[in-house]
Structures are given as structure tokens and as C-alpha cells.
Structure 1
């Protein structure tokens, strides 16, 4: 009985739920009909042309007057500008000046008309320039007057504003006037701008806007004396007030005032730190300051600067001092710092390698980073994938030369080697230099040898490449090296007669390369490797006798005898001995040398 009662109650609940849902559905249908009816009514209130019909009382609905709204908006804008300029007079002056400027700035404006417009413009703005120099639009009027008005008007404008140059340098738009004076002004005007910065350089360098003015003045227009004056302001209050002409850098100041070293470095760090914190690394002056500081500061300060810079070096390595900063960070940073620095260069390695100053940073990295597997994965893989771009650049080619023949005086000038030697003996590099170099060469051997092999026909007769080919086949290892030997030997297998034009024996640079091949044969023979001399004997045996009538040919044969490889020596003597009389009649030095050897 109880179960039947429960079933009856459940059925009643189901019926009630269904009834409720049906009521909700009917209500939604009614609402939808109302909405549709409302839309139809709204559409019917418009005629076919889209104009709303009159209502039943005969009045048409109100429409917005857009012309009136635009006029009101324009009037509000004019009032706002007038308020910013301070008076209606200034506003009217700016309107008149811009009207003249619109014609003056046109490229097709003739010179005679330019003179008339400049004269009219200066008559209106003279004596009122300070009220116009701060706005983004009117400052352009003054800039155009400087650029097209000539020295006469430039002087008038400069004389009126010369006492406010430091303040103008800090204003977003007014600074462009100061930059224009530096670019177009007379030498006296440029000197006035630079001298007006005295005592303010440190403050201005910390200023995001004014730092551009200091950078242009320092980098492009200041002479050596003025540059040293600007740099000295970072050494402390004493140097800001009293400049010393014999001090050109931080090292000079420390040598002249050793008793003040601690205070100078402290002031230098406190002046430099805000610039580092703000990330203002694009200025050349900052690169110079960082280089001087890293070269002279304590280990603790140096580590602090490296920590701050290690992920931000890419923008600065395009300048000489910026590249030196990156090199100092690599030399004195920990292994972890070095990896962080090089990782930040990812996707930029080829560009860095082909830059005048940037490639030096990579040479320093090859010298100091012990983890050659890391170098292979991060640095060398990217460089080897873009070998064509490296070959097309003089600086990219230096990268390849350094990998093949590091610190070689054949390829690098003493001044370059002197800079690189500054990183020798750093605390973080533990691996033996020779081992590090061989491991790097093992990584690049196959890509470089394949590149040489693909271009050997042209490069073997190119004086810019023969020394590199000679160095590559000496230090790099791979089956491609033997293929290079065979191809070069084939070039020398062509018959030679006195006066033959175009033969490789007549090319001094190619013969010098082959001489280098032969001189390395003794080492290859001791290592039980195939020698170039043996390959040359196989390829050109029938033509070697003809070489005795050529000075360079005789020297090559003499070099083969100097290898002291028994089979090579005996073979050469067997070929040449029957021609002793012929050699004795020759007048060139090569014949005399060869006669002595046999």
C-alpha cells in the first residue's frame, strides 16, 4: 500500500512539472510576437527613401546637425590650444606662422620664394620664439626656418634662445631645435651648445629625452678636449667644477690622483648606475664609460655590472667601445654569465660576425668559453648554416680565419692580437688553449672543407683565398681534404713550356699555397696520412721534368726534396738527375737551389 501511495505522488509531481514548462513556452512565444510587431512598426514609420514619416500629431522627429557639431568641436579645439599657449595673441601668431610654414616646407618651393617667406616668418616670430618653441607643431616651423633660412636667420633665432638650451634639451619637442643647431649651426654655435652642458652632463644623461642631445654632441660634434670634459663629469663633483686637460679617461684620472681612487670609482658607479638601471645603452658615451669602468673597478663592482648587462649587450656591440664592453663581460664573467650572454645573441650571430666591431666579440668568445659543446650548439651551428653570408663579408671571413688559424699573424694585425691577448689568463677559463681550439676546429672542419671544395676551381687561383686554403688543409680534418689535394694536383698536371700563359705555375699566390701544402707533408707522413707530394707525383709525373725550365717549378721540386720522405726524394731525384746539364745552364735562382738538393 505504501509503495502505491509513493508512485501516485511521483506521477503528480511529473504532471505539475510538464504543465509549468508548457506555460513558460507559451509566454516566450507571446514575447517574441510582441518584439516582431515592434520591429515591423518601427520599419513602417520610415518611407522608401529612408526618411522617418511624420508622427500622428504632424511633427517630424529631430535630426542631429552634424555640421553644427563639427563647428562646435573645432571651436573647442581652438579654445583649448589658445589656453595652452596662454593667450589669443600667441594662438593667432602660431596660426599665421604655420600658414607660412606650409608653403615654405614644400620641396618645390623656389629659392626666391623661400627667401620671401623666411623674411616674412622671422618678422612675425622674432622676439616671441620662447612661446612657440615648446609645442609640437610650432617647433617645426622654427626648425624649417633654421634649415632653409640660411646663416642670417639661424643666428637671429639662436641668439634669442641660446640661454635656454639646457632646458630646451629636456622638452620632448623643443630638443629638436637644439639638435638642429648642432647639425646646421656654425662652429661657434655648436661650441656654445656643448659648453652650455658643462656641469649638467650626468643629469642630462639620466634624462630620457635630453640624453639624445648629449649623444649627438659627444659622438658627432665635440672635439677631443670637449669629449674629455664631458666624460670627466662622471668622476665626481670636483671634476664637474674643475676640468683637467691632461685627463682623457678614467685610467688617466686614477693615475694622476691615486689617493682618490676609492672616491672616484664610488662617484663613477653612483653616476653610472641609474643609466644602467634605465637601460639607456644606445648612447656611444655610455659605451665608453662602461668600458673604462669595467677596466678599472674592483672585482665586486665588475661582477655587479656584468650581472646588470649580460642580457642587454646586443644593442651596444656595433660600436668599438660597446664591443670592448661585451668582450670584458665575457672575459671576466663566470661560465654561467658567458652562456647567458651568448644565448642573448641567438638569431643575431651572423649579423654580429659581419660587423666591424661585433666580430671581435665572437673572437673573444672562441678564446675563453670552455664548453665547446655549448659553442657548437648555440654559436657555431648558426654560423655554419650561413657560411655564404660570412664569406661575402670581410669581417665574416675573419671569423673563419680565426677558427682555422687562431692568433695567426698571417691573417691578423698585431693591434688586433694585442686586444685579444687582454683576455688571456682570466679566472674562469680552465681548459688548455690548444685543446679548446682543436675542439672548435673539429666542429667546423666538414662545413668549411666542403665549402672550399665547392669553390676550389676559382678560389685556388684567387690571391684572397690561397693562404686560407693552405691554413685550412693543415688544421682541419676530413675526407674532403684529400679531395682538395687531388683537385689541386690535377691543376698542376697540365703540360708546361716556357712562356705558357695561364698555367698555374705562373701564379705566385697559387704556387705559394702549394708550397705550404708540401711543407706540411712531413707531419702528415709521420701521422701516416696521405701526402700532397705523393698525390702530385701520381697526377703530374710526366710534366715534372718541364718544371725545370721554370723558376717556381724548380722551387716546388726542391721543397718536395726537403720533405725527407724517402719515396718522394728518390722519385724526384730519378726524374731530375738526367737533366742536370740543362739546370746548370739556367740563370734563375730556383735552378741553383734544385741542383744543390740533388
Structure 2
């Protein structure tokens, strides 16, 4: 295989062009001498041409054409000489480069291995399994004893990466053992790091343990290294077990804690610090130094650093808290996407003073949408809602960022939770006991800096956000109601009666919901076929939410639901002149039949009212049609109307 040479302009392009320029300068100087020595003769020729007839003019044209042809020939010869010179220069450079490679340590073996690799790495068409195995075996036989020369070179390192990818488990284990002395060099090499990640990805459990053990004692250096930080990140997040992760973190406490620990798991950082003030001082100093150096290097986005920070926030105190917050307050947005980073962010939000919180919110503003839709990041917004006293600042920071895309927020599994908190507080229907425990812990931390009662803070924020909630429903009803989580949020929104000012929005929202469920139910895209639409309508007809523990409906009075909504529902959908056909359509669909069950239940409680009595009489007339239906909803409806 011919190896391509490295392009060096000084040897290939610049040198030939210099020769051409020298020739051009010589020609120009010669022309100048001729011009100066024969000025008189030129004047005579010019005067003769002026006095001459047409034949003289034609003769001069022929002479000019001959001169032009001569110049073109000279230029062609010159360009040929230049191309030949460049070609010779390239060939000489290739030969020189090849000779240098062959003189290097293991140069011959490396070249032979690379020839095999060129055949092995072909993707289209894929190499047959038998041929690939044969090529791999041959390449591996040449790698023995020279693998250290391969792994740290950009092109040769890829050879070993391919071997790792296509080799058997035993072969990979052999490669891992042979490379053991080079792991740190690989981790800190611009090219070798990819090979080390490949070994972690394709290697066995034992091989990964060997790599992690071999790098023990060098984790702090790796975290602060430009290339090594990426390897450490993958090792910690993707390949280390929980026990190995804890052992890796212990190294950041200090050398004495990394080398000696009791039991399989060892002590936690709190337990180690509780043993003596000296322990706490050493651990805090080591963690703080590592964190500061890594943040200044631009490694704030790494999960392994977030884990180190999490260890630190468990033990920092006094002035250490202020120093740490000052270090990371502008970079919180880079931390919220990992579980450890989100916990650190929530902690510093809870412990920050008003000025520090303002800086934190300013840094989060451009990333508000990504944060709230993140599995861990939404907890940071939740903590902000629960701890920051300046509710006006919170509103200004996030309302603008969410206003254009609030539908995406309200239908997202994670993003809607902080806003459900504004409506219902820490409702157990949406917050697990573990999540409630974590949020209560942040509330406890914030007592030093937060002065407002939690309920007052929540009510103020709700007052800011509730117009945005209703505007989203008004502008995007189908997008919101078509999603189960969005429909569920709408139910919680309408049934929230904390703010008297919300009544003006609620009435319009109920009309929008009714308009959204009108139309032909047999169409597949009708909202009634969405899973939560039926539940939403039944809840509004029943006048409250179902309490699982008490097994009863907790009714909410004077907000336009219950009988008021049922009366309007019947008028809008069944009193249009063809009410018989409309009722039959709702009976024939299973989902809508369950809604009718809720409507009948509501009217039975108000039989003395004419609207209720009229509808019940109408539905009873359809008894035979209901009996002919096979859906569960129709069967239940049939039982209710004859009771």
C-alpha cells in the first residue's frame, strides 16, 4: 500500500514558484536593456509604418502573430517544466516520508498491520466473517510486542480499535492486559482516549475492573485534564458499578481515604467527617480544590464532577457555602441535566441569598425550556418556586420563556409538575413520597434565607401564571386536550378555586371544552376517543374529583361544574333539533357512553328540575337501542336508567 505523504507547502509549491519568478525577472531586465538601446530605431520604424501603405500594415500583423505564437510556446514549455518539478518534488517527499516511517521503532510491523487493517475495515460490501477472523488473527499476531507503538499514534490507534471491535472476548481480554501499562497515557492522549473508551465499551466485566483499578490514584489528574476528563466521565457514568463509583469518589477526598476504607462500601463522607474535625478539614479542602480547578478548566458539565460536588455539599459549612455558591452560581444551567447536578443546584438555590438567587435565575433563563423538560432539571424549577421569595423575579424570568411553547410544557411528563404544584401544592397524586421528602429537605435548608410562608409564595406565583394557563387552553385547545397529561392538567386547572379572579377565565374554558367534543363521534380523530377525555368530562359532570381513599366524589361548589355544566352539556349537544340522533350517536360509542352515565347520575340528583327530568325521559326512550349495544358503557348505562 502506498502511504500518502503529508502536504508541506514549503517543499511542494513554494520552491518551484520561486524558480519561475526568477526566470520572469531575468526576462524583464533583458527587455528593458533592449528598449533603452534602440529607442531611435523604434522611432524610425514607427514613422515608416505611418507613411507606409496597407501592405506594410499586413506585414506587421503577421510579425505580431509570429511573436504571440513564440510566447505561447515558451509559456507551455515553462508550465511543463513547473509541473515536472512539482511531481518530482512530491515523489521525493513521499519516498523520504516512507523511509522515515520504516526507520521508526517497529516501523515495518506497523506498515504491515496497517495494510491488513485497510482490508479489515471495509464496510461496503461487508467483509465475510471467516475472512475478517483470518485478517484479525494475522493483525493480532503482528501486534505482539509492538502494541505500545501503535496505540498512541492517530492512525495506528484505529487499527487496535478495529481489532477490539471484531475480536472475541478472550482476545479483548488479552489486549486489555497487554495495554495495562499504557492506560493513563491512553486516557490523556488525543487519539488514545478513543481506544480506551472502546475497551470499556466492548470489554468484559473483568476488563473494565482492570482498567478502573489501573487508573486508581490518577482520577483527580484525569478530571483536570483536557482529554482525560472525557474518559473519566464515560468510565464513571456508563461502566463503573455503584461500588466502583463510590471508590472513585473516595479518591477525591484525599489519598489516605482512597487507599484505606472499611468494608465493601466503606464509610460515607458524612461518617468520615464525623470521626474528627481534622478529617472534615482535609476532605473539604481536597474536594474544594478539585472542584475549583475543574470549573475553571470548563468541566462543569461532567456528571463525575457533579458527583464530587454532591459529596462536598453534604459537608460544607459557614464561609465554604458562600464560596462554593459564588464559584458555580453562573453555571448552574450546566448542572441540571444529571441527578447529582440537579441535587447540587437545588441545594445552592435553597441556601442562596437574594443576590445570589438573582444571578442563578439570570443564568437559567436562556435554558428554561430544556431545564423544565428534563427528568432532573424540573426539580430545580420546583425548588425555585418553593424557596425564592422574589416571586415577581421568578415570573419575569420564566413566563416569557414559556409563553410561546407552554403547550409543550403542560403536556410533558416532567415539565408540568412544577405548575401542578402551583395549582395543588405537593399533591400525592403527582408527587411520590420520596420526591416530597427531598423537596421538604430543601425547604428546611431555605429557612435561613427565605422569609415568606410557603403558601403565600405559591399563591403569588399562581396569580402570575394562571392567565397563561387559560390562554394556552384558549389558543391551543385540541393540542392540549388530545394529550392525556394535558387533559389532566386542564381538569386540575378548572377545579382550582383558590383565586376569585380565575372565574372569568373558567367560564370561557368550559365553553371551549364543550365546543371541542362536538361533532361526529365516528371520526377517528374525535377527542372522545382519547383516553382521558372521558375522565375529564365525567369529573366536570360529577362536580369534583374522585377520592380513592374515601371512595367518593369530593365536590367543589360555585365554580360552574356539576349540575351547571351538565345542563349546559345537554343543551349544547342534544337540544339542537336532532337530539334523538345525537343521543344514539353518543350511546353507540363506548367512550361517550360512559360520559352519558355521568350525565344521568348528575341529573338523577336533581330530578326535581325540569331540564334534568326532560333529559332522563329522553334517555329512557332509548332503552331498546341501549340494550342492543354490546359495549360495557352501554350495559352500565342500561342498568342506571332502569334503577
Q: Work out whether residues 105 and 149 of structure 2, in 8 Å CA contact, stay in contact via their aligned partners in 1.
A: no
Deviation at 1:467, TM superposition (A): 4.6
Q: Work out whether residues 234 and 267 of structure 1, in 8 Å CA contact, stay in contact via their aligned partners in 2.
A: yes
CA distance in 2, matches of 1:359, 1:90: 55
Q: CA 1:462/1:233 → structure 2, altered by over 3 Å: closer, same or farther?
A: closer
Q: Work out whether residues 175 and 210 of structure 1, in 8 Å CA contact, stay in contact via their aligned partners in 2.
A: yes
Match of 1:512 among 534, 539, 559: 539
Report the counterpart of residue 125 of structure 1 in structure 2.
143
2:360 is the alignment partner of 1:331: no
CA distance in 2, matches of 1:448, 1:153: 60
CA RMSD of aligned residues (A): 4.3
Report the counterpart of residue 449 of structure 2 in structure 1.
428
Deviation at 1:492, TM superposition (A): 11
CA distance in 2, matches of 1:91, 1:487: 78
Aligned residue runs from structure 1 range 145-156, under 5 A: 145-156=163-174
SS of the equivalent of 1:395 reads coil
Q: CA 1:469/1:151 → structure 2, altered by over 3 Å: closer, same or farther?
A: closer
Deviation at 1:195, TM superposition (A): 0.8
Q: CA 1:78/1:559 → structure 2, altered by over 3 Å: closer, same or farther?
A: farther
- Provide TM-score, normalisation by structure 2: 0.69
Any idea what the Cα deviations from partners look like across 1:290-313, whole Å, max 9, x if unmatched?
A: 122123201311221221212222
Aligned residue runs from structure 1 range 430-469, under 5 A: 430-453=451-474, 464=485, 467-469=488-490
CA distance in 2, matches of 1:435, 1:348: 27
Any idea what the Cα deviations from partners look like across 1:387-441, whole Å, max 9, x if unmatched?
A: 2322442122324323333322222222222222222141332333223222222
2:89 is the alignment partner of 1:72: yes
Deviation at 1:349, TM superposition (A): 1.4
2:295 is the alignment partner of 1:276: yes
SS of the equivalent of 1:412 reads coil
Deviation at 1:183, TM superposition (A): 1.0
Deviation at 1:538, TM superposition (A): 5.5
Q: CA 1:375/1:81 → structure 2, altered by over 3 Å: closer, same or farther?
A: farther
Aligned residue runs from structure 1 range 312-327, under 5 A: 312-327=331-346
Q: CA 1:296/1:124 → structure 2, altered by over 3 Å: closer, same or farther?
A: same
CA distance in 2, matches of 1:92, 1:43: 59
Per mean C-alpha deviation after superposition, the further-off stretch among 63-72 and 102-111 is 63-72
Report the counterpart of residue 95 of structure 1 in structure 2.
111
Aligned residue runs from structure 1 range 558-597, under 5 A: none
Report the counterpart of residue 212 of structure 2 in structure 1.
194
2:130 is the alignment partner of 1:112: yes
CA distance in 2, matches of 1:392, 1:46: 79
Q: CA 1:295/1:158 → structure 2, altered by over 3 Å: closer, same or farther?
A: closer
Match of 2:191 among 155, 170, 173: 173
2:240 is the alignment partner of 1:222: yes
CA distance in 2, matches of 1:223, 1:383: 38
Any idea what the Cα deviations from partners look like across 1:301-360, whole Å, max 9, x if unmatched?
A: 122122121222223221111111221221112222222222223332112211111111
Q: Work out whether residues 187 and 196 of structure 2, in 8 Å CA contact, stay in contact via their aligned partners in 1.
A: yes
Deviation at 1:575, TM superposition (A): 7.1
CA distance in 2, matches of 1:44, 1:389: 79
Report the counterpart of residue 54 of structure 2 in structure 1.
none
Q: CA 1:151/1:461 → structure 2, altered by over 3 Å: closer, same or farther?
A: closer
Q: CA 1:313/1:81 → structure 2, altered by over 3 Å: closer, same or farther?
A: farther
Q: Work out whether residues 354 and 395 of structure 1, in 8 Å CA contact, stay in contact via their aligned partners in 2.
A: yes
2:82 is the alignment partner of 1:52: no
CA distance in 1, matches of 2:356, 2:65: 73
Q: Work out whether residues 45 and 52 of structure 1, in 8 Å CA contact, stay in contact via their aligned partners in 2.
A: no
Report the counterpart of residue 507 of structure 2 in structure 1.
482
Q: CA 1:148/1:556 → structure 2, altered by over 3 Å: closer, same or farther?
A: same
- Provide TM-score, normalisation by structure 1: 0.74
CA distance in 1, matches of 2:475, 2:604: 31
SS of the equivalent of 2:543 reads helix
CA distance in 1, matches of 2:554, 2:177: 74
Deviation at 1:472, TM superposition (A): 1.0
Aligned residue runs from structure 1 range 525-544, under 5 A: 531-532=560-561, 535-536=564-565, 539=568
What runs of 5+ residues in structure 1 fail to find an aligned partner?
1-33, 35-40, 55-59, 495-501, 525-529, 561-568, 583-587
CA distance in 1, matches of 2:461, 2:514: 29
Report the counterpart of residue 159 of structure 2 in structure 1.
141
Aligned residue runs from structure 1 range 19-34, under 5 A: none
Deviation at 1:486, TM superposition (A): 4.7
Deviation at 1:287, TM superposition (A): 0.8
CA distance in 1, matches of 2:358, 2:599: 51
Per mean C-alpha deviation after superposition, the further-off stretch among 133-142 and 112-121 is 112-121
Q: CA 1:123/1:436 → structure 2, altered by over 3 Å: closer, same or farther?
A: same
CA distance in 2, matches of 1:132, 1:338: 52
Q: CA 1:46/1:375 → structure 2, altered by over 3 Å: closer, same or farther?
A: farther
Deviation at 1:371, TM superposition (A): 2.4
Deviation at 1:165, TM superposition (A): 1.6
Deviation at 1:182, TM superposition (A): 0.8
Q: CA 1:521/1:121 → structure 2, altered by over 3 Å: closer, same or farther?
A: closer
CA distance in 1, matches of 2:517, 2:118: 73
Q: Work out whether residues 460 and 510 of structure 1, in 8 Å CA contact, stay in contact via their aligned partners in 2.
A: no
Match of 1:161 among 179, 192, 196: 179
Deviation at 1:67, TM superposition (A): 4.3
CA distance in 1, matches of 2:365, 2:64: 64
Deviation at 1:463, TM superposition (A): 6.2
Q: Work out whether residues 332 and 345 of structure 2, in 8 Å CA contact, stay in contact via their aligned partners in 1.
A: yes
CA distance in 2, matches of 1:300, 1:174: 42
CA distance in 1, matches of 2:517, 2:193: 68
What runs of 5+ residues in structure 2 fail to find an aligned partner?
1-38, 40-62, 520-527, 546-552, 575-582, 584-592, 621-635
Q: Work out whether residues 413 and 485 of structure 2, in 8 Å CA contact, stay in contact via their aligned partners in 1.
A: no
CA distance in 1, matches of 2:566, 2:134: 86
Deviation at 1:103, TM superposition (A): 1.4
Q: Work out whether residues 94 and 132 of structure 1, in 8 Å CA contact, stay in contact via their aligned partners in 2.
A: yes
Q: CA 1:48/1:71 → structure 2, altered by over 3 Å: closer, same or farther?
A: closer
